[in-house]
């Protein structure tokens, strides 16, 4: 079944949590442990758009600083705005999964995380032995 970017990010974070739990203490994950995860909620397309805008603002501010005399303040403000866009895009508006319960089915995602993790561990075990 095709998943949206938000569900894919939750599944990826859940698999990473499962790996950490197995390495550290061997505790299984539950829906409550998934609710505590923080995932990026900004779509990849929107992140790319903010990155492109940020890089453009930085490029234009460098050009203004180099070509237009006595306009350091304008270029500095544009540089700060460009860096802010890049940071915002990289951060991706993280939210806790518990705030997203109305958008995703946590029980279904928990089952998907466990099945993918078990499949991955089986493949590891088969490749080692």
Helices (H) and strands (E) in the chain, counts: 5, 2
pLDDT of residue 38: 86
Whole-prediction pTM: 0.72
pLDDT in tens, the chain (129 residues): 457 888 888 888 888 888 888 777 767 777 778 888 888 888 889 999 999 999 999 999 999 999 988 888 889 999 999 999 999 999 888 888 888 878 888 788 888 888 888 888 888 888 876
Q: Where are the beta strands (DSSP E) in the chain?
A: 38-40, 94-96
Q: Is the Cβ–Cβ distance between 8 and 61 less than 8 Å?
A: no
Residue with tokens 């995932």: 39
Q: Record the tokens describing residue 12, joined without a space.
A: 């990826």
Q: Give residues with Cβ within 8 angstroms of 129, minimum separation 6.
A: none
SS3 103: coil
pLDDT of residue 129: 61
């Amino acid at each position: 079944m095709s998943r949206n970017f938000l569900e894919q990010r939750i599944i990826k974070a859940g698999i990473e949590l499962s790996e950490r739990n197995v390495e550290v203490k061997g505790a299984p994950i539950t829906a409550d442990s998934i609710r505590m995860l923080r995932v990026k909620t900004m779509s990849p397309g929107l992140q790319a758009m903010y990155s492109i805008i940020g890089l453009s603002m930085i490029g234009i501010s460098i050009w203004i600083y180099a070509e237009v005399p006595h306009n350091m303040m304008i270029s500095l403000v544009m540089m700060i705005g460009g860096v802010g866009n890049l940071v915002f895009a990289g951060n991706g508006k993280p939210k806790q999964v518990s705030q997203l319960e109305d958008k995703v089915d946590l029980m279904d995602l928990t089952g998907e995380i466990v099945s993918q993790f078990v499949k991955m561990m089986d493949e590891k075990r088969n490749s080692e032995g």
